[in-house]
Homo-oligomer: A and B are copies of this chain.
Amino acid sequence: MQQFAQFNPQARILLGPGPSNVNPRVLNAMAAPMLGHLDPDYVGLMEEIKKLLRIVFQTANDVTFPVSGTGSAGMESALANLIEEGDEAVVGVNGVFGARAAECAERMGARVHRVEAEWGRIVEPEKIEAALKSCQRPKLVAVVHAETSTGVLQPVEEIAQMAHRYGALMVLDAVTSLACIPVPIDRWQIDACYSCTQKGISAPPGLSPFTLSERAMAVIRGRRTKCRSWYLDVSMIAQYWGAERAYHHTAPISMNYALYEALRIVVEEGLEARWQRHRRNAAALQAGVAAMGLKFVAQEGHRLPQLTAVQAPAGIDEAAIRTALLRTYNMEIGAGLGPFKGKVWRIGLMGESSQRNNVVLVLNALEQLLSAAGIEIARGRAQAAADAVYAQSA
């Protein structure tokens, strides 16, 4: 008989691209007794979750609920429900997650116009417009608001206006942006948006906050063919999250308890205060990184506050630095993806993890480890640079 020991993980400081640290209130919420997915008390909770998600998405959209899967399931849900065989989709690709959306749209039957940009740079709105012009009848435009692989903040509003001018729907990946920076769905006229629970919201991963405009719902109601995904078919799921309460699949009950508690914390803090906290801590981190003499991946003026991609110094074993951070300081930062593998660190300050003490810790830990590895950096300046940012914003 094999022995399976109790699992007692050590607490980490999570400064990677997600998951972020989870507030004990949220962890404890999952220990509440199980309810059935049609229990009147659970149905009441579903209504409260929808209200909270509408606050965080800044939307009045009726169809606003968490998809029963992670952020990538939210992406697939948006694309599977909107795309029919042969539809034209314009997708901005300047990192892993834009490429993923393009790939997913193709699998759903779309003819995809990829609008590429160098990793680390934004997708230029003019190039999106050129792609829209080249379409016969564009169905949708999709861009990634916060490209998690590069730390780039993509301008969205102008592209959404453009999409609508060309009669297309606007799809936004807000996986790494929601509850870190503003995602004003209604003001920007976004038609479909998906996010995740484990970054800005700081709940465990497992659900994808999701919202669809009335325009998007009209397109879905008017489909000639069925959605390729049964599991993600919004025409059925909206009847479970809506007044009909028609059973579709058994919702992840405990995960929804966690999401509710995490959203309560977001609303208690207030969106404005939360965004400002993310901006302040990121400014301090980025000042410290720059003071060390390290370089950023994302172009200036378009750096995310919640995720900073840093170029690892030439010749360094970047994985060894991450391992040392984990072993010595119980601290996780992210590795580079795709072409950035072995070349980039991604430091997240998302949700609960966006704290001054974490900024101080990661800057000093990196300084120590890089010095010990014999890398030439400007020593003794990082924390001072960070502190100066806090002094200024106090």
Chain A residues proximal to chain B, CB less than 8 Å: 2, 4, 6-12, 14, 16, 18-22, 24, 27-42, 45, 48, 51-52, 55, 68-73, 75-76, 100, 103-104, 107-108, 196, 198, 204-206, 226-231, 247-255, 257-258, 260-261, 263-264, 267, 326, 332, 335, 337
Q: Is there an interface contact between B252 and A7, defined as CB atoms closer than 8 Å?
A: no
B9 touches A69 (CB 8 A): no
Q: List 13 A-B contacts (CB under 8 A).
A: A11-B33, A18-B250, A19-B34, A31-B31, A34-B198, A72-B248, A72-B249, A76-B229, A104-B230, A107-B227, A198-B250, A206-B253, A252-B255
Kindly list 17 other residue pairs between chains A and B, CB separation below 8 angstroms, not including A19-B37, A34-B198, A204-B252: A4-B51, A7-B29, A7-B257, A12-B33, A18-B250, A19-B34, A19-B35, A27-B32, A27-B33, A75-B231, A76-B229, A107-B228, A198-B250, A204-B254, A206-B206, A206-B255, A229-B229
What residues of chain B lie closer than 8 Å to A249, measured between beta carbons? 70-73
By the criterion CB–CB under 8 Å, are B42 and A254 in contact?
A: no
Give 3 nearest A-B pairs by CB, closest first.
A206-B252, A204-B254, A11-B33
Min CB distance A211 to B, Å, is 18
Is the Cβ of A34 less than 8 Å from the Cβ of B52? no
Please give the distance in Å from A105's CB to the nearest CB on chain B: 9
Contact A12 to B36, CB < 8 A, known contacts A204-B254, A226-B107, A250-B70:
yes
Chain B residues whose C-beta falls within 8 Å of the C-beta of A326 in the assembled complex: 39-40
Q: A70-B250, A73-B231, A252-B255 are in contact. Are A10 and B36 (CB under 8 A)?
A: no
Quick one: closest B residue to A41, CB to CB?
A: B9
Select which of B42, B198, B230, B250 is within 8 A of A71 by beta carbon.
B250
Residues of B within 8 A of A251 (CB): 70, 205
Q: Is the CB of B261 within 8 A of A7?
A: yes
- Taking CB atoms, residues of chain B closer than 8 Å to A260 are 4, 7
CA–CA, A28 and B52, complex, Å: 26
B254 near A30: Cβ-Cβ < 8 Å: yes
In Å, the complex CA distance between A8 and B257 comes to 10
- Given known contacts A19-B36, A36-B16, is B103 in contact with A230 (CB within 8 Å)? yes
A337 near B68 with CB under 8 A, answer no
Report how far A108 CA is from B9 CA in the complex, Å: 40
Asked whether, in the complex, the Cβ of B206 is within 8 Å of the Cβ of A10, the reply is: no
Closest beta carbon of chain B to A93's beta carbon, Å: 15
List chain B residues, Cβ under 8 A from A252. 70, 204-206, 252, 255
- Alpha-carbon distance between A257 and B6 when the two chains are bound, in angstroms: 10
Bound-state Cα–Cα, A337 to B246, Å: 10
- The docked-state distance in angstroms from the alpha carbon of A138 to that of B264 is 52
For A32, A36, A39, A75, the residue with the greatest tally of chain B CB atoms inside 10 Å of its CB is A36
Which residues of the other chain, B, contact A258 by a CB distance below 8 angstroms? 254
Decide: B32 and A9 in contact? CB cutoff 8 A. Answer: yes
Within 8 Å by CB of A231, from B22, B35, B72, lies B72
